[in-house]
Structure 1
Amino acid sequence: MLASTSRPALKVLTPTLAERLRVFNHAARTLQLMGVRLLRIEPLENSLTIEPAAGFKIVGTQPVTGFQKHPSAGSTRYVVQFQGVTLEWREPISAARPDDWARNTIH
């Protein structure tokens, strides 16, 4: 049996996916214009991983929603929504020590 030579074009980029990618790309470009280094780009998950210093700067200067803090044994993971995209960054536990912890301990 011979295959047909006229195949219908596949429509991979649906209108919904196209809009989602437009929003994702706009947020990523905005962050890059702000000087934020993107460590991980995950368009299918609608997520960007950034450096900790940039994350705290964004929280302090830009409108974000859904701030979440997830401490664990070795680091703290932060998650926020920025322009419809999830931003995530991790800060090592050692980076968050207050100054008074650096003094000698007397037993």
Structure 2
Amino acid sequence: MLASNSRTPLKVLNPTLADRLRVFNTAARTLQAQGIRIQGFYPNENMLVVSPEAGQRLVDQGQSTGFKRHKSAGSTRFNVQFQGVTLEWREPISFARPSDWACPTIH
């Protein structure tokens, strides 16, 4: 086996990745400082998963942008942008809705 006499420092983080991780960590720390529990960390996708209540709270407070709703058979997935990071949460179909949604259906 050949061995190298010179040790080249291995640089794992390039400047772009280092900046992206800095933004990701800052957003995660800001959410945690606001009392929001993060349920999933996905730095490769630049995404954090939060609870439905936490996501709605951020939307109601105007701390997020780009609200998107993706409906499926069993749940609805929501995405917003928060300080350069995507936040995601899911609400099952049986999730509690406002009282005005419970009005009688007229056929």
1:63-78 → structure 2 map (5 Å cutoff): 63-78=63-78
Q: Percent identity, please.
A: 63
Cα deviation, 1:4-42, whole Å, max 9, x if unaligned, reads 132211111111111000000000000001111111001
Runs of at least 5 residues in structure 1 that lack an aligned partner in the other structure: none
1:19-34 → structure 2 map (5 Å cutoff): 19-34=19-34
State the distance in 2 between where 1:71 and 1:2 align. 57
Instruction: Tell me the amino acid that sits aligned with residue 94 of structure 2.
Output: S
Greater percentage in helix: 1
Deviation at 1:62, TM superposition (A): 3.5
1:41 aligns with 2:48: no
Instruction: Tell me the amino acid that sits aligned with residue 15 of structure 1.
Output: P
Query: What residue is the counterpart of 1:15 in the other structure?
Result: 15
Q: What SS class does the counterpart of residue 66 from structure 2 fall into?
A: strand
Q: What SS class does the counterpart of residue 95 from structure 2 fall into?
A: helix
Deviation at 1:2, TM superposition (A): 3.4
Query: What residue is the counterpart of 2:95 in the other structure?
Result: 95
Cα deviation, 1:48-98, whole Å, max 9, x if unaligned, reads 000000000000113322110011111110000000000000001111445
State the distance in 2 between where 1:90 and 1:73 align. 12
1:84 aligns with 2:98: no
Instruction: Tell me the amino acid that sits aligned with residue 61 of structure 1.
Output: Q
State the distance in 2 between where 1:98 and 1:74 align. 19
What is the aligned length? 103
Instruction: Tell me the amino acid that sits aligned with residue 64 of structure 1.
Output: S
Instruction: Tell me the amino acid that sits aligned with residue 88 of structure 1.
Output: E
